[in-house]
Amino acid sequence: MHAEEQHVGRLQGKVALITGAASGIGSACALRFAEEGALVAGIDVSEEGDERWKKACELAPKSWFAVADVRDGARIAEVVGEVCSHLGGVDVLVNSAGTAGGGAVHDVAPEEFDRVIGINLTGTFLPCHHVLPVMLEQGSGNIINIASIEGLQGAEGGSAYNASKGGVVLLTRCMAMDYARKGIRVNAICPGFIETPMFDAVWGMEGLEELKDRVRNAHQLGRFGKPEEIANAAVFLACEESSFITGHALPVDGGFTAGQRFGFAKMMGLE
């Protein structure tokens, strides 16, 4: 390649609609997609994106942002129409909007359960519901749902959160089956514990220091993940390098779901 030739990104010219785009995993995806040549459209309840979103807008000047609650189907339909009008369609949908919440079932208020399910599960369904007709008309598309390792296994006090993310995993697999022959791939990413504003809000609470260390050590790599590491996986699933992958729930979790540690690695001199 000659020095003057420009790098062509793996998502060059693709239009990516990302929910929860103002911060955390969503803004990290927006930035990585823009770095790979995509036009990015963001949805969030926040009116202003973080530094990653702002950088994505610098890289992709046609980037577009809308304030919307993913539980509001009428507003999501309106936003999808605006994105298609401004950017010409939707090639990739990343459902990253999410919230924490849970507790023992007898202690969880029904309205709190509904809130978590509404944002995490219904808030994944509704963008898909309104984007899929666009993708069907195009004859192509790619949907990436941000689930969680807690959608693959149980956790103490998980209740609402785990139920919502488990629902996202199965919704993903159902959509992959329904739309595969129409040229639309659907996959989920199941992050481990990732250092995001939501993570900080939960694990920054007083009295959780020891538990936080135990959770960190449950990741075989001995650390929490970064939003960029989830965004890298999203780029892979969005591009042609993953063209034979659909219906998959990909753990990106530092080995959290690989198994348990009992100390034998230390006995073998591997720690």
Nearest alpha carbon to residue 191 among 264, 257, 130: 257
Give the number of C-alpha atoms closer than 13 A to the C-alpha of residue 196, restricted to the C-beta side: 26
- Enumerate long-range contacts of 69-75, CB under 8 Å, 24 or more apart: 69/45, 69/123, 70/19, 70/20, 70/43, 70/95, 70/97, 70/119, 70/122, 70/123, 70/124, 70/126, 70/127, 71/118, 71/119, 71/122, 71/123, 71/126, 72/126, 73/126, 73/129, 73/130
Residue 120 near residue 71, CB atoms below 8 Å: no
d(CA 234, CA 189): 7
d(CA 96, CA 32): 14
The phi-psi region of residue 95 (left if phi > 0; otherwise alpha if psi is between -120 and 50; otherwise beta) is beta
Which residues are known to be catalytic?
161
How big is the chain by its Cα radius of gyration, in Å?
19
